[in-house]
């Protein structure tokens, strides 16, 4: 059954001070807090991670490592030593780099970013030489072969991934989640929370619909409660 552990809140802010109200309010309702490049660059990774841990939250370190194996392995060891629950690498860094991350992940969960949710089929063809769905499946196979725990993909690829028996055990972490009452913004391949969970998502990454909900929804806590109700009842 779906629970708060399935929800990852994206802390898309530029200072530690701005994270505190969200962490204090949402820790009872979400399983993890995703910290990305803006916050990590502005404040420094150790400070950000330690702050979230002090307030009782778990961390998804969204650093998207994409480099040669030695560098990816070293960076993965550093972030694993911080005690984060999840971190990620880009599939485009190649199987050897993903293996280097897996070898150094310790107790953290390693995710592989497939194709960003902001990328359309046309752009995927231009960048990767193949349509989005084909590249997501290929990258998921690479993640599995390299020893990763899961992948990050758009919710629209979930059904396709679930049809491949050898990929069923992978965690499927999905950004691009937009409740019916929220705006799509810059995400191009989206589904609602209930749709994504029904199609096999294990974790939903949600930012703006919670941090800046429509006026009629209420506060961030009201928004996340509404999302929890939706996925629990789906």
Axis crossing angle, helix 45-54 with helix 16-26, rounded to the nearest 10: 30
- Please list, residue by residue across 175-198, b when 16 or more beta carbons sit within 10 angstroms of its beta carbon and e when fewer do: bbbbbeebeeeebbbbbbbbbbbb
18 has catalytic annotation: no
- Burial grade of 168 (CB within 10 A; 0-12, 13-18, 19 or more): exposed
- Residue 208: strand, helix, or coil: helix
Strands 203-206 and 171-174: parallel
Which residue out of 4, 34, 64, 225 is catalytically annotated? 64
d(CA 114, CA 227): 25
Q: Which residues are designated catalytic?
A: 64
């Amino acid at each position: 059954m779906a629970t708060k552990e399935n929800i990852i809140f994206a802390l898309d802010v530029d200072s530690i001070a701005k994270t505190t109200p969200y962490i204090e309010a949402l820790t009872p309702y979400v399983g993890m807090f995703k910290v990305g490049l803006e916050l990590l660059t502005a404040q420094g990774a150790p400070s950000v991670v330690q702050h979230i841990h002090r307030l009782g939250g778990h961390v998804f370190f969204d650093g998207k490592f994409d480099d040669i194996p030695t560098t990816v392995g070293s960076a993965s060891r550093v972030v694993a030593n911080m005690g984060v629950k999840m971190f990620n690498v880009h599939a485009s860094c190649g199987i050897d780099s993903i293996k280097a991350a897996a070898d150094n992940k310790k107790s953290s969960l390693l995710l592989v970013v497939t194709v960003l949710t902001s990328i359309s089929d046309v752009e995927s063809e231009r960048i990767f030489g193949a349509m989005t769905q084909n590249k997501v499946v290929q990258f998921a196979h690479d993640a599995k072969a390299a020893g990763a725990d899961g992948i990050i993909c758009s919710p629209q690829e979930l059904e396709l991934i679930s049809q491949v028996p050898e990929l069923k055990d992978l965690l499927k972490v999905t950004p691009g989640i937009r409740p019916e009452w929220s705006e799509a913004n810059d995400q191009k391949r989206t589904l609602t929370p209930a749709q994504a969970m029904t199609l096999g998502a294990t974790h939903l990454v949600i930012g703006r619909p919670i941090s800046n909900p429509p006026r009629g929804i209420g506060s961030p806590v009201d928004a996340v409660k509404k999302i929890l109700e939706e996925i629990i009842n789906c």
